Each structure stands twice: as C-alpha cells, then as structure tokens.
Amino acid sequence: MKIESITLREIHMRLKSPFETSFGTVQDRRIVLVEVVTDGVSGWGEVTAGETPAYNAETTDTAWHVLADFVAPNLVGKSISKASDLPALMSQIRGHEMAKSGVENALWDAEAQLSGVPLYKHLGGKTEEIACGVSLGIRENPESLVKRVQEELKSGYQRIKLKIKPGKDYEFVAAVRKEFPRIRLSVDANSAYSLEDAARLKRLDEFDLLMMEQPLSWDDIYAHSKLQAQIQTAICLDECIHNTRHALTAIALKSCRIINIKLGRVSGHTEARLMQDACLAHGVPVWCGGMLESGIGRAHNIAMSTLPGFSLPGDVSASQRYWTEDIIEPAVEVTSQGTIHVPKTPGLGYSVKRELVEKLTVRRNVWSKGRAAS
Ligand code: OSB
Ligand code: MG
C-alpha cells in the first residue's frame, strides 16, 4: 500500500448535552479526523484525544502537532505491505498513542476496503452483533440519575456505568441500586481517589457492582494492586493501560480483574488486537471503552468489539445519544436488546458524510505525494 496522501481535519461538534466526569465537563468537542488515501482508496480514522489533558496527557492540539510535524510528513509517499506494519514506522515517537491511532486505524479501514472485506472480519472478529452499555455522566442529584438510568434501560442497554467522584458516589450508586436491584451496574472514577480512600471505596462492595473502573491515579498500576487486595469489587483499569506490557504488568500484580480497551489509548488496532489476545490467554475479560467519539471512531470501536476477548458490554452506544447529526451514514443504531449489528460492507461499513464533515471543519492540512489529493 502506497500512502498517497494524508489529510488532517479538525471538526467541531456539540454534544446534545454536557458530559461530566471527575476531571471536568465537556460539551463542545474538537475532533481531529485523519483521512489516508492509499492505492486510490480513502480510509478514515479518528483521534480520540480530549480538548484538555485531563483524561490523559494528549489533547486535540498535541495530536495535531504530532501528526502534522512528525507523522504525516514522514509517512506520506511511503509504501507499506500491511496496516499492522505502521506502529514500527512510528516507534520513534514516544507516547501520543491517540494521535498515532488516528492514522493507523485509517489505514486499517483502507486495507479492509482494498481486501473487499468488512473491517471486523479483517481484524479477526467473529461476532456479528455486539453488546452495548452506556456511560452516564455525574448528575446534580441521585433522583435525576435514577431517571436517566430508567431511560437507558428502556432503550435496552445491557449495562449501566455511573461516573463517580468523592462526594458524588455512595448515595448515587445506592439510589440506582435500590431502584434496579438486578441490573449490571458499574462505576468509573477516572482517577479521582487515592489509596487513603480505600475504606470509602470498600463501602461500594455492598452494591454488587460488575466493576469499579480506574479509581486511583492515571499512571499507578501498583497502587491499584494495593486497593484490589482490600475490596471485593473487581477493579477495571482504563487510564493506566497503554499497551500490552502494561496489561501484563497489571495482571501479574493483580491490580485489576478486568481491562477496558480504548483504541486511541492503546495506539490503534494492532496493539488492541494483541492486548485482547493476551488478556484472553490470562482469563481477563476486556470491553471496549468510549471517548465521546464521532461516528468514525464509533465505527472502529464496533469493529474492534467483535474480537474474541471482548466478553463484556462496551461503552459503544447509538449515535443519537450524543449527536443531533452524526458524520456517518447510516447512524449507529442500537436494538431493543441493547446490541449493535455489525455492518458487513467492506471497510468501516458506514460512509462518511463528506459534505457535513466539510461544513464542520475548522482547519485542514494535506500532505500528498503521487496522486493529487482533493
Ligand atoms: O473513562 O471511559 C471513560 C468519556 C471521556 C473520557 C473518558 C471516559 C469517557 C466515558 C464516555 O466514559 C464513554 C462514551 O463514549 O460513551
Ligand atoms: Mg474510564
């Protein structure tokens, strides 16, 4: 595959409603899209960095900088034999996983199209229907949270995840658990606690949670092993895990019993495949996390979720939960059983609404060698 051109676009999209986590609130998304043209085919990827470096170290602007100044100029004009060779070509760049993931995933989409197969099959996925859960932002009070949960359950979602932070935890989870004694329920703290909070976190054991996601520091795998030894609830690591080495470290230290895989955080499909495979070999269930993606990132998440290690419902939900109008068609829809049917056309399986993307674009840069890029 000859990389003929790489186009970066920053688009602005407004979420239907603000999303609050322990690290802040977001409504206006600034998303970097990557379009790679190879052998005459366009592949699309999404950079899942946030607007601020509060979830991890990357932001929309750091990703743009790394892609524009280091990745795109170095890759354009190169020939590679397969998409999974790309990480080696970017190995000089430390970190910046989300930036790199945008390009790598675009190439996976292109490669699947060139092979005439849907991306999920190209990745080695087996299922044609994936299980979906939702992630609910922090709310003003427990009553409004219970109402939200009710609505999501009505739509069919198979697992509810509640964002928590100190002061907005026990009472909120208690209220939801009381109203819905049997649902699959989990919490996500996004690194808002420390080991000194162990007793407080242990109180959540009484709610029979499926998991507690990333309670402690974003980079502290060891501290999570100390906490996991003190609580019954399974810890799931998110922020801490950037590659398969991290996953194996966490498993060896018994820092968690479940791992959330986000394509951006682990630098793309190549590493995500390796990680889910390693977790499967160790009997550690994984699931697909979300980063409030546009349809392009969402479509990649759907394809990844079909891999055999993904045995728990992911944070992959319908386009219309986030966006008035998504940038792909058809929009991602969820069945009344809380599942998504994986598309079977070549590549991502959804088409990019180019006109809409153009309308939402606030900056753009093209690198090309060979065929002229539009
Ligand atoms: O920790 O999973 C997280 C959104 C932004 C940053 C971090 C997280 C999240 C979510 C939302 O939980 C998941 C989604 O896209 O629905
Ligand atoms: Mg999380």
Would you call 163 a catalytic residue per the annotation? Answer: yes
Best residue among 135, 152, 265, 286 to mutate for probing ligand 1, ranked by most atoms within 8 Å of CB: 135
Would you call 168 a catalytic residue per the annotation? Answer: no
Contacts of 10 (CB under 8 A, 6+ apart): 30, 31, 32, 33, 60, 64, 361, 362, 363, 364
> What integer pLDDT is reported at residue 371 of this predicted model?
46
Q: Kindly give the number of the ligand 1 atom that is closest to the alpha carbon of 161.
A: 12
Identify the residue with better confidence: 374 or 276: 276
> What integer pLDDT is reported at residue 370 of this predicted model?
58
pLDDT tens, 324-361?
Answer: 999 999 999 999 999 999 999 999 999 999 999 999 99
Give the separation between CA 135 and CA 174, rounded to whole angstroms: 17
* Residue 365 β-bridge partners: 8
Residues with CB under 6 A from ligand 1: 21, 55, 135, 188, 190, 238, 289-292, 315, 317
Of residues 100, 163, 165, 168, which has the active-site annotation? 163
**What's the chain's average pLDDT?**
97
Q: Residue 314 CA: which ligand is closest?
A: 1
C-alpha pair distances (Å), 155 with each of 19, 150, 320, 370 = 19, 9, 12, 48
Give the separation between CA 24 and CA 29, rounded to whole angstroms: 13
What's the gap in Å between 135 CA and the centre of ligand 1? 7
* Nearest residue (CA) to ligand 1, atom 12: 135
Q: Radius of gyration (Cα) for the chain, nearest Å?
A: 20
Report pTM: 0.97
307 within 8 A of 58, measured Cβ to Cβ: no
User: Mean per-residue pLDDT for 230-241?
Assistant: 98
Q: Residue 213 CA: which ligand is closest?
A: 2
